Amino acid sequence: MKVNEVYAEASLGGDLYKVKMKIIPTQESVMAAVKRDTDAANLSTWHRRLCHLGNMTLKKLVTSGIVKGMEVTNMQLTGICKECIVAKMDEKPFENCTECDMQTFGTLHADIIEPMTPEAQWTHAKFSLIVHDDYLGFGFVFNLAHKDETVKVIINLEKSIENKFQK
C-alpha cells in the first residue's frame, strides 16, 4: 500500500452503507492491513482479535506477509480458548451430578440415536434407544425401525424389570 492513499470509502445511504472501492494493482500483494493501538502482541491475542481464527491460518497470515502491521511476539497459541470450545458445542453441558440413585433401576436415563446408516440388515432398524441405570451403570440398547416404538419398548422394559427383580 502506498502511504495516504484511499482504497475504500463508505457512506451511509438509508439503512445500509454504500462502499466505493479502488482495485489494488497486482504488484501490491497486501490483502489486509491492521491498525493497532499497542505494540506487537502474541498469537493468542491475534487469535481473539481476528474472530478466533485457527492456529494454522494465523501462522500462515504472519509468515506470508499478506497482512501489513501484524507483528507477533510468540508464535504459539497458549492454553485452551474457552470461547472456541463453547462456540463449537451444540448444547450447553450438563452440570455434574453429585448424587446418584442408591437403588437398582431407581433412575433410568434414555436417549435415542438417529438415524443409523445403513439401517440394520435383519431388523431394518434406523434408530437405537439406549437406556442407562444410574446406580449400576448398566445399559440396554434397543434397535427401533420407527421412533414411535419407543414408548412400547420402555413399557416392556419396565415390566421385565418388575418381573425379574420384584420391583
Window from 97-101, 136-140, 147-151 with minimum mean pLDDT: 97-101
- Grid cell locating 14: 438509508
For range 127-150, the mean pLDDT:
85
Please answer whether residues 49 and 32 qualify as being in contact, where contact means their C-beta atoms are separated by less than 8 angstroms. Answer: no
Query: According to the model, what pLDDT value does residue 39 have?
Result: 66
The helix/strand/coil state of 142 is: strand
43 has pLDDT over 60: yes
Tell me the pLDDT tens digit for each residue of 66-94: 777 778 888 888 778 888 877 777 766 66
CA 16, 20, 26 angle in degrees (round to 5)?
140
Reported as a single tens digit per residue, the pLDDT across 3-25 is 666 667 777 777 776 777 665 55
146 or 105, which is more confident: 146
